[in-house]
Amino acid sequence: MEQINELKARYSISDSRDQRPDLGFITVDPGRLAALLAELQQVRGYTHLSFITAVDYPETGTFQLTYMVHNFESAHSLGVRTVISRDTALMESVHHLWKQAKTYQRELKEMYGIDFPGSPGVDDPFILEGWQGPPPMRRDFDTRAYSEKTYFPRPGRKTSDPRRHMQSRLYPDYTPFEEET
């Protein structure tokens, strides 16, 4: 983490911690993220982007983005975190640093509604071809309401409690203690 201490002042790193000897995390302002990632890649040896992921915090109106980068020479992984507004949900693209970033960014756009302007194919369907609803990975997405609206009851279709259905199929002679009289 010595090299992180060197970067703290220059990139306004607000939090840093070692989780294990081979894994650390830092938090940086979104406006400084791309420049920090470029230095980590080009100067500090973090040449592999393992993934980009998001966590939705509707209670604070934010998303936390984590860019996991790896340095093969030192066998060290570093999670670079940043927090962006949930309302605007915009982040600078890093596809110019790692080609695979465009795939992660495309997924985050579709699943969370986070936009990465200028990222190739960011608006192309990724998994949810023809999806008309709100981003399904946002915590305020109501899965049940969406399912009830989209997959209406059809004649001849019956719904069963999965626990009772499996019990009747697999153990027809078994009566659980709670149902015994």
Structure-model confidence comparison of residues 132 and 37, the more confident one: 37
Quick one: average pLDDT of 99-116? 95
pLDDT value of position 8: 83
Q: Is the pLDDT of residue 96 over 90?
A: yes
- Rounded to 10 deg, the angle between the 2-11 and 30-42 helix axes is 140
pLDDT value of position 4: 75
pLDDT value of position 163: 80
Element (H, E) at 67: strand 62-71
Quick one: average pLDDT of 77-82? 96
Quick one: average pLDDT of 26-33? 95
Q: What is the mean pLDDT of the chain?
A: 88
Report CA-CA distances (Å) from 148 to 112, 120, 144, 152, 164.
Answer: 21, 35, 6, 6, 22
Quick one: average pLDDT of 114-136? 88
Structural domains of the chain, ranges and CATH numbers in brackets: 2-153 (3.30.460.80)
pLDDT band at 73 (very low <50, low <70, confident <90, very high): very high
Distance CA 70, CA 82 (A): 17
Taking phi over 0 as left and psi of -120 to 50 as alpha, with beta for the rest, 147 belongs to alpha
CA 33, distance to chain mean position in Å, is: 17
Comparing 42-56, 86-100, 107-121, 128-142, which segment has the lowest mean pLDDT?
128-142
Quick one: average pLDDT of 44-48? 95
Tally Cβ neighbours within 10 Å of residue 70.
17
pLDDT value of position 172: 81
pLDDT value of position 179: 56
What is the DSSP annotation of 159-176?
A: ---HHHHHHHHH-TT---
